[in-house]
Amino acid sequence: MASTNDLKNGIVLNLDGQLWSVVEFQHVKPGKGGAFVRTKLKNVLSGKVVDRTFNAGVKVDTATVDKRDMQYLYKDGDDFVFMDSDTYDQITVPAATVGDAANFMLESQQVIVATHEGTPLYVELPTSVVLEITYTEPGLQGDRSTGGTKPATVETGYEIQVPLFLEQGTKVKVDTRSGDYLGRVS
């Protein structure tokens, strides 16, 4: 248990049986009436964001979320298998929990897996990863102008938009939050 005065960004609260991560918080002391804390909370499992207000000093239930560095090993049916980098224990995470992170994960890549009481909550990737383009239409002479893009499939099977001049076999940096092309890697 913690007080609303102890809130900080990233802390996970257990409200009504669901886990909510604090995205933003603000202590407000109006001239009239009692102080309160205005928060923006993100549901850890669904990603839904809500605004919630608490009276100052109210007790809130905090949840322990264990974040560990893990290595992605392989895909097993619909599940993904990760290995703890310290203990070498393996954990199986369902595809629904991995979500969009699967578009950017390569075998033996380091990621952070967050668990609560042994249940995997989500997989956190670095902000950008380097992937190789496995298929894209060949560039034509004169496709060096700025602004044009074309679809390209990267080695995870995910499709991104890249500049016209990029070719198959080129390594590119991709933003894992939006799927945007960030640049070429030599």
Same domain, 78 and 52: no
Rounded-to-10 torsion of CA 133, 70, 176, 79: 80
CB contact at 8 A, 128 and 176: yes
Rounded-to-integer distance, Cα 102 and Cα 156, Å: 8
Report the C-alpha gap between 101 and 161 in whole angstroms: 18
pLDDT of residue 140: 67
pLDDT tens, 45-94? 777 899 999 998 889 898 888 888 999 999 988 899 999 988 999 999 98
Domain's final residue, options 124, 141, 164: 124
* Tens of pLDDT, residues 165-183: 888 899 999 998 888 999 8
The answer on 178 and 139 residing in a single domain is yes
Q: Identify whether residues 145 and 117 lie together within a single domain.
A: no
**Partners of 39 in beta bridges:** 25, 52
In this predicted structure, what is the pLDDT of residue 72?
93
* CATH number for the domain that contains residue 30: 2.30.30.30
CATH (domain of 150): 2.40.50.140
Domain that holds residue 145: 128-185
175 - beta bridge partners? 128
pLDDT-based confidence at 5, cuts 50/70/90? confident
Domain count, the chain: 3
Give the type of residue at 181.
Answer: Y
Residue at a domain's end among 34, 60, 86? 60
Residue 171: CB atoms within 10 Å = 13
Please, which pLDDT band fits residue 97 given cuts at 50, 70 and 90?
Answer: confident
pLDDT surpasses 80 at 42: yes
The verdict on 84 and 107 lying in the same domain is yes
> For the segment 98-156, what is each residue's pLDDT rounded down to a tens digit?
888 889 998 889 999 988 888 888 888 888 999 999 998 886 666 565 667 888 999 99
